Amino acid sequence: MIEIIQIPVLQDNYSYLLHNDKTGETAVVDPSEAPPILDMLNKKQWKLSHILSTHHHHDHVGGNIDIKQITGCKVVGLWKDSERIPGVDVTVKEDQEIVICGSKCKIIFIPGHTRGHIAYYFPSEHKVFCGDTLFSVGCGRLFEGTPEQMVESLAKLAKLPDNTEIYCGHEYTVSNCQFALTVEPGNKDLQARQAQAKQLRSKGQSTVPSTVAMEKATNPFLRIASPEIRKNLGMAQENEVDVFAKLRLMKDRF
């Protein structure tokens, strides 16, 4: 069983420490900056074995080099994006299985936000670390990829078991709910999610992780077949990629 510690970093990012008490192994996902990660490792007296990088953006890899130099850990990243991820030692590819903290981890290739984005999926733990591809009630901007790529990537994540916990890279749920309700105001699950998110944030608590089931019920980017969304966009008959592209453009301007 892997223990997860969520570490708020920078302005609204999350990094994650993964620890297996039986094996003593520890990994970190997307260390935006080194000090908070090193502080928690020291507090827990854990030795870091791996850094798991989902993509190359600085707010996800900014701590890689300092942490690697201090801990001697290995940095994991996608093989064809390794030149943009600082300190990569171990390259992985789509559908590859690796063992992290004593648990099997499957690499899911999910381009769109960047051309080399991956997720780390732990089937036995029912957890996926998906960086900036799928957010709670949202998805990442298309900085390098296409709408077609992002639709396909989101579909891969939506096919994971409903009880899979989604650990994303940012705390965006409240603002994402505000946008989602402009295109699907009649969604009762979404209304409840917004109320819950506001309550959690008012107490300084995180809205992450979400679950696959919750995202399929509330996330407009996973609900492009919704008659209400299509009606409000005036796109009742258009294909899913065009509907997604319109939604993403609206969210960019929201």
Tokens at residue 67, please? 């942490």
66: containing domain: 2-253
CB distance 5 to 19 below 8 Å: yes
- Provide the pLDDT for residue 113: 97
Q: Which pLDDT belongs to residue 164?
A: 98
The pLDDT, as a whole number, for residue 232 is 96
Q: Is 170 one of the annotated active-site residues of the chain?
A: yes
* pLDDT for residue 126: 97
Active site (annotated) includes residue 55: yes
Distances (CA, A) of 56 to 59, 68, 115, 159, 241: 9, 16, 10, 25, 25
Tell me, what CATH number does 240's domain have?
3.60.15.10
Q: Which of 19, 50, 56, 113 is catalytic?
A: 113
Check 30, 57, 81, 117 and give the catalytic one. Answer: 57
Would you state the pLDDT for residue 179?
Answer: 98
The residue annotated as part of the active site, out of 55, 56, 81, 117, is 55
Q: If pLDDT is split at 50, 70 and 90, which confidence band does 7 have?
A: very high
What was the pLDDT predicted at 168? 98
Evaluate whether 177 touches 193 at the Cβ level (below 8 Å). yes
The confidence score (pLDDT) of residue 157 equals 98
Confidence label for 109 from pLDDT (cuts 50, 70 and 90): very high
Active site residue 12: no
The pLDDT, as a whole number, for residue 70 is: 97
Active site residue 242: no
Could you give the CA distance from residue 209 to residue 42 in angstroms, rounded to a whole number?
25
Residue 171 has a pLDDT of: 97
Q: Which of 59, 66, 126, 242 is catalytic?
A: 59
pLDDT band at 78 (very low <50, low <70, confident <90, very high): very high
pLDDT number for residue 127: 98
pLDDT-based confidence at 15, cuts 50/70/90? very high
Q: How many domains does the chain have?
A: 1
- The predicted model gives 81-108 an average pLDDT of 96
- Over residues 204-212, the mean pLDDT reads 97
- Which of these is catalytic: 19, 50, 56, 60? 60
Q: Is 57 a residue of the active site?
A: yes
Q: What is the DSSP letter of 94?
A: T
Question: What's the pLDDT at 147?
Answer: 97
pTM for the full predicted model: 0.96
pLDDT at 51: 98
CA distance 145 to 152: 11
- How far is the C-alpha of 143 from the C-alpha of 113, rounded, in Å? 5
Q: Of residues 19, 50, 117, 132, which has the active-site annotation?
A: 132
| pLDDT at position 46 | 97
Rounded Cα distance, 16 and 20, in Å: 13
Percent of the chain with pLDDT over 70: 100
Using DSSP, state whether 197 is helix, strand or coil: helix
19 is catalytic: no
pLDDT in tens, 114-157: 999 999 999 999 999 999 999 999 999 999 999 999 999 999 99
